């Protein structure tokens, strides 16, 4: 064969392979119509904001490598934006969704198409509104299957069940938020938790609609547990059944077995469950893990795991037997929560950055803003103050005139500054008895710049200001490795020596131990403006957030793409 001929036949084969690869990837075109819909829970009907009239919203099922084009049509009376929680959105912050961070909100009557591709991700993620408290009802599962022919690292059951844990208010959640924003006090806690939108047997007017999962004896199923709740970490358990954890936040783990999981808002956990108990009916239940010294919703949501051959009662009172109830940890059982989280390991050796270019230390916690008139109706926080929250004493305020990403891209000044502090402005005993003079944060819209491909370490240090608490910290645009954690103050001399740089769990949301710290590492390989915040919406509203501005690299494939033409304007 002549060499040019040989070359062209090789090129032809390569081209064929490329087309086969493309053909296996799909484009999912969907419409998400944001619209009010009457939803009855706890004996009362509310006009809930929904996607396509569904609550919870539609489940998206895609494969690694697929693309999505989701047109969000806003037929509600609120501004809205949708976030694809955990999707990396490589070089494409325009599709990420947080309002005023990467886009201006979609106004009533307008629409925007989120176009993005799944690049090297598989597992359970989810989507939700990223606009004030609309995610109370606007959320759904986003399931990414591996590429065709690509195996799971464990024996994947045939059946797969999404379990969306949510929080329900017997009021319009936007009014609950508005009231809290006016008074400066903490928002009312929710009235119920839900499993796939239903509170379950332990709430008024709910029994007839409790979610039931039929199961065959001996069958193994995968539960994709998602905490879509606004403000509460949850314990989740299934009566008499062990759960084998295989994945968290779309990253596989070394499998391990437990009777209970703890899951913070924003997190996902896949578990396998085998129906190896006596044929019967078993509750799955979730209730609060409350680490703070603060009011919380102490109710319990349930669904029923029902063996198809469960016996029924005979004779009088004939019908289904009562389900068995699981043992759940106490509300403040930090030992159980920590023991669970500490068992998580990446499924294989993890490519953790070993050298660190950016060594960041962030205090995270609550605060109080003093009022000149403490008797004002707007100062109903503790002792006539308003609640706040901060990272390194900076209480984040969303811009209004433009989004940070658009302002950055257009070079528009006056929207944000890039002087977010890499360390706290003052050092103090973060988890001790903090003097009152350090309780008041400063408001601002500050970002922190990262060089393209910098190896970043962040130690997230909870403070005891107002109350120590588990803060589920979420980073947009990235997955990170959780290399270490502990209680008390982080010690930079002794703690790093104990970091797990071999198989630390990979996540997109990690809770600070209450009164403790957690260390994460990632490579800043995704240029753009990326929000990092506490996934407790009350805390987010109080300012527990900041933005990373990751600079472009040199190459074309290292720079943020051009924005889509229909990107909403402010
Ligand atoms: Cu799931 Cu910024 O959020």
Using the mean position of ligand 1's atoms as its centre, give its distance from the Cα of residue 413 in Å.
26
Q: In what order do the strands lie in the sheet with 212-215?
A: 212-215, 300-307, 281-289, 233-238, 260-263
If you take atom 3 of ligand 1, which residue's CA is the nearest one?
Answer: 85
Q: Which helix (H) or strand (E) holds 455?
A: strand 455-462
Ligand 1 atom at shortest distance from the alpha carbon of 97: 2
What is the pLDDT at residue 21? 56
With a 6 Å cutoff on the Cβ, whether 83 touches ligand 1 is yes
Reduce the DSSP state of residue 555 to 3 states and report it: coil
Angle at 28 between CA 24 and CA 29, to 5 degrees: 145
With a 6 Å cutoff on the Cβ, whether 533 touches ligand 1 is yes
* Contact in structure between 193 and 301 (CB atoms under 8 Å): yes
* Contact in structure between 390 and 367 (CB atoms under 8 Å): yes
Using the mean position of ligand 1's atoms as its centre, give its distance from the Cα of residue 279 in Å.
40
What is the pLDDT at residue 3? 52
With a 6 Å cutoff on the Cβ, whether 264 touches ligand 1 is no
What is the pLDDT at residue 15? 56
With a 6 Å cutoff on the Cβ, whether 98 touches ligand 1 is yes
With a 6 Å cutoff on the Cβ, whether 476 touches ligand 1 is yes
With a 6 Å cutoff on the Cβ, whether 85 touches ligand 1 is yes
CA–CA dist 27, 66 (Å, integer)? 6
Using the mean position of ligand 1's atoms as its centre, give its distance from the Cα of residue 130 in Å.
7
With a 6 Å cutoff on the Cβ, whether 100 touches ligand 1 is no
CATH architecture classification, 358-558: Sandwich (2.60)
Q: From residue 300, how far is each of 213, 259, 285, 466 by CA, in Å?
A: 18, 17, 7, 27
| Per-domain residue ranges of the chain | 22-145, 159-342, 358-558
With a 6 Å cutoff on the Cβ, whether 135 touches ligand 1 is no
With a 6 Å cutoff on the Cβ, whether 84 touches ligand 1 is no
CA–CA dist 539, 133 (Å, integer)? 12
CA–CA dist 369, 525 (Å, integer)? 37
With a 6 Å cutoff on the Cβ, whether 474 touches ligand 1 is yes
Using the mean position of ligand 1's atoms as its centre, give its distance from the Cα of residue 315 in Å.
52
With a 6 Å cutoff on the Cβ, whether 266 touches ligand 1 is yes
Using the mean position of ligand 1's atoms as its centre, give its distance from the Cα of residue 11 in Å.
44
CATH architecture classification, 159-342: Sandwich (2.60)
Q: Which residues contact 305 (CB under 8 A, 6 or more apart)?
A: 213, 215, 238, 239, 241, 273, 275, 281, 282, 283, 284, 323
Using the mean position of ligand 1's atoms as its centre, give its distance from the Cα of residue 95 in Å.
13
What is the pLDDT at residue 1? 44
What is the pLDDT at residue 543? 98
Using the mean position of ligand 1's atoms as its centre, give its distance from the Cα of residue 178 in Å.
20
Ligand 1 atom at shortest distance from the alpha carbon of 85: 1
Using the mean position of ligand 1's atoms as its centre, give its distance from the Cα of residue 362 in Å.
19
Ligand 1 atom at shortest distance from the alpha carbon of 126: 1
Size of the chain, expressed as the number of residues it contains: 570
Q: Which helix (H) or strand (E) holds 12?
A: helix 3-24
Q: From residue 152, how far is each of 62, 113, 222, 272, 389 by CA, in Å?
A: 15, 32, 13, 13, 41
The CATH code belonging to domain 22-145 is 2.60.40.420
Using the mean position of ligand 1's atoms as its centre, give its distance from the Cα of residue 476 in Å.
7
Q: Which helix (H) or strand (E) holds 313?
A: strand 312-313
Using the mean position of ligand 1's atoms as its centre, give its distance from the Cα of residue 86 in Å.
8
What is the pLDDT at residue 312? 85
With a 6 Å cutoff on the Cβ, whether 446 touches ligand 1 is no
Using the mean position of ligand 1's atoms as its centre, give its distance from the Cα of residue 267 in Å.
10
CA–CA dist 139, 58 (Å, integer)? 8
Using the mean position of ligand 1's atoms as its centre, give its distance from the Cα of residue 535 in Å.
6
CA–CA dist 513, 471 (Å, integer)? 8
- Residue 547 corresponds to which tokens in the numbers above? 């933005």
CA–CA dist 389, 71 (Å, integer)? 34
311-341 in b/e form (b: 16+ CB < 10 A) is: eeeeeeeeeeeebbbbebbeebbbebbbebb
Q: In what order do the strands lie in the sheet with 159-168?
A: 192-195, 159-168, 220-227, 268-274, 243-248, 251-258
| Residue owning tokens 């900076």 | 394
CA–CA dist 316, 386 (Å, integer)? 59
pLDDT < 70 positions in the chain: 1-23, 315-318
Ligand 1 atom at shortest distance from the alpha carbon of 533: 2
> How much is the pTM?
0.95
């Amino acid at each position: 064969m002549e060499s040019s001929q040989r070359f062209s036949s090789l090129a032809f084969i390569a081209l064929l392979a490329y087309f086969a690869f493309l053909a296996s990837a799909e484009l999912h075109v969907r419409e998400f119509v944001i619209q009010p819909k009457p939803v009855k829970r706890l004996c009362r009907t509310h006009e809930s904001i929904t996607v396509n009239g569904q609550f919870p919203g539609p489940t998206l099922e895609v494969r690694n490598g697929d693309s999505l084009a989701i047109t969000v049509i806003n037929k509600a009376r609120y501004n809205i934006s949708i976030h694809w929680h955990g999707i990396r959105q490589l070089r494409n912050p325009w599709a990420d969704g947080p309002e005023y961070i990467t886009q201006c909100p979609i106004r009533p009557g307008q629409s925007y198409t989120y176009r993005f591709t799944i690049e090297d991700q598989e597992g359970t993620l989810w989507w939700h509104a990223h606009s004030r408290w609309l995610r109370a009802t606007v959320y759904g599962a986003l399931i990414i299957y591996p590429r065709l022919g690509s195996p799971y690292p464990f024996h994947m059951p045939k059946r797969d069940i999404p379990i969306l844990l949510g929080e329900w208010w017997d009021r319009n959640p936007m009014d609950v938020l508005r009231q809290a924003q006016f008074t400066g006090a903490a928002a009312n806690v929710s009235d119920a938790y839900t499993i796939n939108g239903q509170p379950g047997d332990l709430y008024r007017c709910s029994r007839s609609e409790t979610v039931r999962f039929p199961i065959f004896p001996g069958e193994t199923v995968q539960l994709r547990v998602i905490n879509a709740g606004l403000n509460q970490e949850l314990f989740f358990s299934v009566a008499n059944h062990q759960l084998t954890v295989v994945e968290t936040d779309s990253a596989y783990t070394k499998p391990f077995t437990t009777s209970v999981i703890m899951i913070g808002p924003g997190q996902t956990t896949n578990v396998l469950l085998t129906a190896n108990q006596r044929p019967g009916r078993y509750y799955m239940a979730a209730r609060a893990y409350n680490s703070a010294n603060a009011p919380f919703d102490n109710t319990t949501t349930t669904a029923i795991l029902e063996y198809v051959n469960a016996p029924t009662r005979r004779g009088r009172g004939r019908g289904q037997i009562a389900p068995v109830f699981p043992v759940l940890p106490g509300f403040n059982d930090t030992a159980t929560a920590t023991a669970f989280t500490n068992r998580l390991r990446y499924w294989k050796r993890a490519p953790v950055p070993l050298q660190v270019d950016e060594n960041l230390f962030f205090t995270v916690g609550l605060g109080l803003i003093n009022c000149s008139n403490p008797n004002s109706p707007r100062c109903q926080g503790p002792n006539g103050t308003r609640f706040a929250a901060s990272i390194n004493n900076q209480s984040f305020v969303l811009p209004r005139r433009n989004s940070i990403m658009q302002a950055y891209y257009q070079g528009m000044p006056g929207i944000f500054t890039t002087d977010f502090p890499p360390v706290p402005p003052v050092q103090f005993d973060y988890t001790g008895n903090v003097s009152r003079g350090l309780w008041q944060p400063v408001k601002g819209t500050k970002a922190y710049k990262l060089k393209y491909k910098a190896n970043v370490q962040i130690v997230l240090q909870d403070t005891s200001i107002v109350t120590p608490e588990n803060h589920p910290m979420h980073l947009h645009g990235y997955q990170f490795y959780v290399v270490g954690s502990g209680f008390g103050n982080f010690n930079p001399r002794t703690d790093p020596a104990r970091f797990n740089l071999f198989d630390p769990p990979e996540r997109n949301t990690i809770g600070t131990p209450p009164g403790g710290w957690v260390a994460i590492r990632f490579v800043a390989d995704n240029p753009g403006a990326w929000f990092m915040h506490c996934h407790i919406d009350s805390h987010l509203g109080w300012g527990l957030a900041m933005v990373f501005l990751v600079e472009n690299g040199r190459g074309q494939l290292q720079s943020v793409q051009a924005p889509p033409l229909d990107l909403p304007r402010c």
